Amino acid sequence: MSVMFLLAFSSGLPLSLSTSTLQAWMASVDIDIKTIGLFTLVQIPYVLKFLWAPLMDRYSLPGFDRRRSWIFFSQCLLITVIILLAFSDPRESIQIMGILALAIAFLSASQDVAFDAYRADMLTEKERGLGAGISVMAYRIALIVSGAGVLIMSDHIGWQSAFLIISLLFVLGMIGVYLGPDIGGDVKPPATLDEAVIQPFVEFLQRDSAWLFLLFIVLYKLGDAFAGTLTTVFLISGMDFSVSDVGVINKFIGLVMTILGALFGGVLMFRIGLFYALLWFGLLQALTNLGFMVLAWYGKSYAGAVMVIGMENFAGGMGTAAFVALLMALCNHRYTATQFALLSALAVIGRVFVGPPSGYLVTWVGWTQFYFITFLVALPGLVLLQKLKPEFMQLDHELKQ
């Protein structure tokens, strides 16, 4: 669990740097909202990571076992690219910054593939709920550091120095790689690259209701992703909060509540089962989107922003813990990297592709109507969950055996 905490922390560090933190940097120097919305497309590697995941199932790099070698390789390259990004300026080199942000997303997605597989292989069925909660906690702590930490530091030491400091924190993840147990001997890797590419998909699609499970994975966090894609811009441009205010309210308080929600959700899931956890946590995720609608209608309010951000992130943390446990439960350990990469890539489709239309939609209908639409977007996933109830109850039964 300690090793998993360090590796999850390393896995969470790059995400904000290429998403909300970069949005804040661009918003602070008056880059227009449409350009910021288009920048969410740099997250495409998170959707396509299943394309190179078979390489991580089939091969290992020198130095460590099959999973940890890829984690370490990704960490080394991330340090290099983040240092290069630190010396960029969005006002002078927006194209170069876009390329570097895309590179960070690619390397971050690769690190996620290897770490997700390592975690799924390492945790037993009984450990998945709490293990998912601890993993989400460490991941979110990293988001606090690379989100709130960078925003607050940027007001005092500048963006460049803040990014350089973040690059040094990957050393903690490298320590996790070094200390991590070798679990590669228990499961035989695919014998050929063809098997590594084809069999993970064939094995999954032969299961009952496989296509409905895939659709559910796309829809479950879609409303949450839709609401969260422009939260930083909403608070800065829509509510007129300062960058430091956003660092405290959205990045620090919000992510602390996510951590608490993930831990609470992981423990509660052990008691109520996977299906009811996904149902009740998903319903809370949808309802908290309406809080943003009320805040947009009411206007700037520190207390209101803290309350809305706190509730939304607490519910999101609960939902994420249950969702990660579901993805781990669906993986065959022989093909963990590829199957988890495919399933988690489907899960971030919403986060990536709702970004560009979100900017245009806000311009068209305004923030209040936008957040009501995000509530409606969250409902189809809950309807499909009800349809899949027999399959989820069977999965719950199998996990308890």
Return the pLDDT at 74.
92
Q: Where are the alpha helices (DSSP H) in 39-169?
A: 44-48, 53-58, 66-86, 94-122, 128-144, 150-168
Mean pLDDT of 227-231: 76
Global pTM value: 0.69
Weakest mean pLDDT among 124-133, 146-155, 392-401? 392-401
Where residue 137 falls among pLDDT bands split at 50, 70, 90?
confident
Return the pLDDT at 38.
72
Return the pLDDT at 251.
67
Weakest mean pLDDT among 21-30, 281-290, 361-370, 383-392? 21-30
Q: Which domains does the chain have, with CATH numbers?
A: 2-400 (1.20.1250.20)
Mean pLDDT of 2-14: 89
Return the pLDDT at 7.
92
For residue 42, pLDDT beyond 60: yes
Within 10 A of 336 (CB to CB), how many other CB atoms are there? 24
Do residues 164 and 149 make contact, with C-beta atoms less than 8 angstroms apart? no
For residue 359, pLDDT beyond 80: no
Residue 366, sorted as left (phi over 0), alpha (psi -120 to 50) or beta, turns out to be left
Mean pLDDT of 173-183: 86
Return the pLDDT at 92.
76
Within 10 A of 56 (CB to CB), how many other CB atoms are there? 27
Mean pLDDT of 316-324: 85
Q: What is the pLDDT of residues 87-134, one digit of tens each?
A: 887 777 777 888 888 899 999 999 988 888 888 777 766 676 677 778
Return the pLDDT at 305.
83
Does residue 377 or residue 188 have the better pLDDT? 377
Q: Whose structure tokens read 């895309």?
A: 102
Return the pLDDT at 9.
92
Tell me the average pLDDT of the chain.
81
| Highest-scoring range by mean pLDDT, 88-102, 109-123, 163-177, 182-196 | 163-177
For residue 352, pLDDT beyond 70: no
Q: What is the pLDDT of residues 237-251, one digit of tens each?
A: 777 777 777 777 776
The whole-angstrom separation of Cα 34 and Cα 360 is: 7
Q: SS in 3 state form for 173-234?
A: HHHHHHHCCCCHHHCCCCCCHHHHHHHHHHHHHCCCCHHHHHHHHHHHCHHHHHHHCCHHHH
Where residue 75 falls among pLDDT bands split at 50, 70, 90?
very high
Mean pLDDT of 20-32: 75
Q: What angle do CA 254, 101, 249 make, to 5 degrees?
A: 15
Does residue 283 or residue 89 have the better pLDDT? 283
Return the pLDDT at 323.
86
The pLDDT > 90 percentage for the chain reads 11
